[in-house]
Amino acid sequence: MVTIGFPFTELASIDSTNNYAMAMAHEGLATHGSAYFAHEQTAGKGQLGRQWKTTALENIMLSVVLKPSGLAVSRQFFLSAAIAAGCHDFFKKYAIDDVAVKWPNDIYWRDRKAGGILIENVLVGNNWQFAIVGIGLNINQTVFAEGVTNPVSLKQITGKTFPTVEMAKELCSCLQKRYDLLFSAPLQETLDNYNAILYKRGQKVKLKKDIAVFETIIKGVNEQGKLMTFDTMEREFSSGEVSLVV
């Protein structure tokens, strides 16, 4: 049964689709799968408290409310991995090749950022009440603000202009397929699928931790969502602990 993207609410302008979806969920006005699409977002939220800057009317700015009942709180990363894979599937359909997920959950085309995901979980003890899945994908934007690092959009890749609302609904369908797989197959399959599309996996990269920069090889991501690397020794890093030097 398809639930992600139903109902689908369009918002003319909002500070943050995640904030709006969160408020709706807390007020009991959102069901599992409720999607909120903004034509303009004035204070979009990114990872680690960063702002997601995007041009009005040109991109996908979407938040989905999910109630991942049956998935333990300790398995939060598996939901993140499934959502990232769904975004990857959607973007790859149009970009064709060179699409990957940069740990933990940015969508990359070659060495350029096409989008990002921010999942905000509401937990009460060991009860996972709901997850607010915020997704920003560059669709038609071709001019980006200063300070935005290596951005790219589908229009820049393909030369085509896309209908953003219809694209957002298609994205919901891609998310549904990966979400269904999360609950119908062994969890390891979701993790393996995520690692199969991981940016720079098996390659030597430069990572920055605090002020130190070092070379290492990306092995993959484990069940806790930690980045596993190998150089003189095997290491694990939590999200936000290191950054990739591109």
Q: What is the CATH code of the structural domain delimited by 204-245? A: 2.30.30
Residue 12 DSSP symbol: S
Output the pTM of the full model.
0.95
The terminus-to-terminus CA distance of the chain in angstroms comes to 41
CA–CA distance, 103 with 57 (Å, rounded to integer): 28
Nearest to 192 by CA among 173, 178, 207: 178
Tokens 């950022």 belong to: 113
CA–CA distance, 38 with 59 (Å, rounded to integer): 9
- Per residue of the chain (246 residues), what is the pLDDT tens digit? 679 999 999 999 999 999 999 999 999 999 999 999 999 998 766 554 555 567 889 999 999 999 998 899 999 999 999 999 999 999 999 999 999 999 999 999 999 999 999 999 999 888 899 999 999 999 999 999 888 889 999 999 999 999 999 999 999 999 999 999 999 999 999 999 999 999 999 999 999 999 999 999 999 999 999 999 999 999 999 999 999 997
Top CATH class, 8-196: alpha beta
Q: Is the dihedral of CA 189, 190, 194, 197 positive or negative?
A: positive
For residues 217 and 227, the answer to whether their CB atoms sit within 8 Å is no
CA–CA distance, 246 with 232 (Å, rounded to integer): 21
> Where in the chain are the domains?
8-196, 204-245
198 half-sphere exposure, CB direction, 13 A CA radius: 25
Do 8-196 and 204-245 come out as alike in CATH topology? no
Residue 226 DSSP symbol: P
Cα 141-144-150 angle, rounded to 5 deg: 100
